Amino acid sequence: MQSFFEFFKELFKTNDFMPRWVSGRWTEAHGWLYILSTIVIGLSYFAIPVMLFIFIKKKKNFPFKGVFFLFSLFIIFCGITYILDAIMFWVPIYRLNAVLLFLTAIISAATVIALYKKLPLALNLKSPEQLQKIIEDQTAALVLANQKLTESEEQFKALVNNNPDVITLMDAKLRYKFVNDSLSKLSNKSLSSYIGKTPCEVLPNHPHTEAFTSKLQNVLENGKKVEYEVESTVDKIGQAYFLVQIIPLTNKWNQVNEVITITKNITPIRENERKLQETINKLEQFSKRLEYKRNTLQEFTYIVAHNLRSPTGNLVSLIDLYNRSVGAEKKELLLSKIFDVSQQLSNTVHDLSDVLNINQNTDLKTELLSFKTMVDNQVKNIAAQIMATGANISCNFSACESIQYPKVYLESIILNLLTNAIKYSSEKQKPIIHFNSAISEKGKISLTCTDNGQGIDLIKYGKKIFSLHKTFHGNSEARGVGLFITKNQINSMGGSITVKSEPDKGATFIIHFNEFELL
Amino acid sequence: MKKKIDSVCIIDDDLIYQFLVKEEIEYTNMVEKIMFFSNGDKALQFLKLTLDNNDLASLPDIIFLDINMPVMDGWEFLEAYAILKPRLVKKITIYVVSSSTDNRDFDRANAINEVSDYIIKPVSGNQLEKIFMSLLS
């Protein structure tokens, strides 16, 4: 221990040794070669850590910094030993030299251990060539991926742009992020002028903009898809029908941050629907008309059987009987019967020809007729009858004052309704007759005549009430022609007549003047 | 075999037809009594009254029923008659007599149990005679 301290006390003592120049036989050249070489080596060793430091500083994230530090230290100490080696030609500090060599030995051993530990990692480091190769490969893959991405983007764009519907994408502030080419089929503005703007900014004055914006706002708030139809006017095609879909897009936090709008022009569909409906309407009219014709035909078959065949048969039988019978009195009686029947036949033929005329005269001249005037005229016509029964006749035509109709028909219709109401008035009370008119949204005009008369049992007679020679009250005055004529007149002009009634509760006749179109 | 039919009932609103049938029936000289009603309702009222009075002798043997009549037509009469029938002890033969040549009327009449036959107007003396003969035999 004593000697250990002694050693360090005399670390810089030189008198125990001889400078190198004087120990051994050094020539000038030999000595200086040695000295200069060791100095250059030492200085170089000092320079190497500086270089390494610069290198590490420049290369950020460079691994093995600790190893490099140890290595630098080792090099520096090596440098120092070389420099000391040179110094010792003049100053023999062999003790210091030994200590420095010892330190160098420790550092070099530590460096070897560190290197040994880091070796596997260092082996894993790619060489620049390897790295170059990797970069090239990755670049090629990236280029390919990019190409594919571009391709798929092109395809997507083509798909979206060639879609006949207008498709747009908007951000959460309802600014257009994307609009497809189809928009140019509707809008005169350039498509790029839409981008980054809200609908209000693009089309501030369009009547649909406000509603559209509020619907967009709704979708943003509720996150639910909205679909609606709208009739709108656009630059290039004018008035059109659109089906608008607004679809919310959510981000990964489930917030709606974008909306897609898809606008389909459904005008052709609507147009087809309209045409179809028109055709259906026409067909319905046609079938109504056919139904009417069929009914008329059936009615006439019936009339021929009952109103013509029957009296004709009677006539034949009467004449047969006349021929067989003897005695002037009998013959006289038969002759009077024959006269009655022929009169009846003639009346029927007359009535029928009236009705046939009605059904053929579908192009009768019409004129604008005031309901009030028409009723007043007929009331005057049968003033005596009205006076005799004390009938009270009122009317209200405020809903529809007049109608375009053949005058003779309307006169006859009103007269028939009036006389029927009086003829079948109740025995218990004075007749009250009320007329009123109405017009539907579609412009269909109707006339209603209500009375407080005997009424008709429609359960029993409903189908027959407008038939020829049908009477229901056992009234000898009744000929059963009036309503038949009335019905035929109304039908021939494309209308219909219906009745609501109960025995003893009066009757209401309703005329729809223009229910179906004349064909 | 009975010599004459007691009573025949004509339900028809056609007065000329009533007159003609009366003449033809009288001409056959096979019927004691002929009744006329101008519609189904009047005939029905008569039948009901007769039953109420238990006057079975006054019930007709044959009814000639027209279809088209005011107030109550032939079809309605047949409906009402079907309800009344259980009370009628006497057998009444009903013929529907109409000027309608419509098959639907013909089929409808034949579908009704109470109807024996459908006769198309005008009815001749010969037809009546055959009907009476068949009933008497």
Distances (CA, A) of A71 to A50, A52, A100, A103: 12, 10, 16, 13
pLDDT digits (tens, 9 = 90+) for A122-174: 788 778 888 899 999 999 999 999 999 999 989 988 888 888 899 999 999 99
Count CA atoms within 13 Å of residue A251 on its CB side.
8
Determine the Cα–Cα distance for residues A441 and A162; give it in Å rounded to an integer. 44
- Residue A518, pLDDT score: 61
Residues 54-113 of B with CB under 8 A from A: 68, 70-71, 76, 99-102
Q: What is the mean pLDDT of chain A?
A: 87
pLDDT digits (tens, 9 = 90+) for A298-334: 777 777 777 788 888 888 888 988 998 888 998 998 9
| Count of the separate structural domains present in chain A | 4
- Residue A287, pLDDT score: 87
Q: Do B39 and A474 touch (CB under 8 A)?
A: yes
pLDDT digits (tens, 9 = 90+) for B35-81: 999 989 999 999 999 988 888 888 999 999 999 887 888 999 999 99
When pLDDT is averaged across residues A70-89 and rounded to a whole number, the result is 90
DSSP string of A380-447, one letter each residue: HHTHHHHHHHT-EEEEE-SS--EEEE-HHHHHHHHHHHHHHHHHT--SSS--EEEEEEEE-TT--EEE
- Residue B35, pLDDT score: 94
| Count of the separate structural domains present in chain B | 1
What is the distance, to the nearest Å, from the Cα of residue B73 to the centroid of all Cα atoms in its chain? 13
Distances (CA, A) of A219 to A150, A176, A249, A285: 32, 15, 10, 45
pLDDT digits (tens, 9 = 90+) for B68-117: 887 888 999 999 999 988 888 888 999 999 888 888 888 999 999 889 99
Strand partners, A264: A243
The one-letter amino acid code at A26 reads W
Chain B contact for A353 (CB, 8 A cutoff)? no
Determine the Cα–Cα distance for residues A127 and A324; give it in Å rounded to an integer. 145
A284: distance to nearest CA of chain B, Å? Answer: 28
Residues A514, A386 share a domain: yes
Residues A519, A380 share a domain: yes
Establish whether this prediction's ipTM goes over 0.85: no
Confidence band for A496, pLDDT divided at 50, 70 and 90: confident
Compute the Cα dihedral for A329, A335, A336, A341 and give only its sign.
positive
Residues A381, A353 share a domain: no
Write out the residue range of the structural domain in which residue A356 sits. 281-360
When pLDDT is averaged across residues A402-415 and rounded to a whole number, the result is 90
Determine the Cα–Cα distance for residues A486 and A410; give it in Å rounded to an integer. 9
Write out the residue range of the structural domain in which residue B104 sits. 5-136
Q: At residue A373, does pLDDT exceed 60?
A: yes
Paired tokens of A444: 């269909």
Residues A513, A384 share a domain: yes
Residues 106-125 of B with CB under 8 A from A: 121-122
Determine the Cα–Cα distance for residues B24 and B30; give it in Å rounded to an integer. 10
Confidence band for A510, pLDDT divided at 50, 70 and 90: very high
Residues A510, A494 share a domain: yes
- In 3D space, the residue among A223, A254, A227, A222 whose CA is nearest the CA of residue A243 turns out to be A227
CA angle A193, A199, A200 (to 5 degrees): 110
Whether A47 is covered by a domain: the verdict is: yes
The answer to whether B21 and B123 have CB atoms below 8 angstroms apart is yes
Q: At residue B28, does pLDDT exceed 70?
A: yes
Compute the Cα dihedral for A429, A432, A433, A439 and give only its sign.
negative
Q: Do A311 and B16 touch (CB under 8 A)?
A: yes
Helix/strand number for chain B, H first, E second: 5, 5
Q: What are phi and psi of B80, to 5 degrees?
A: -65, -35
Whether A325 is covered by a domain: the verdict is: yes
Determine the Cα–Cα distance for residues B43 and B69; give it in Å rounded to an integer. 12
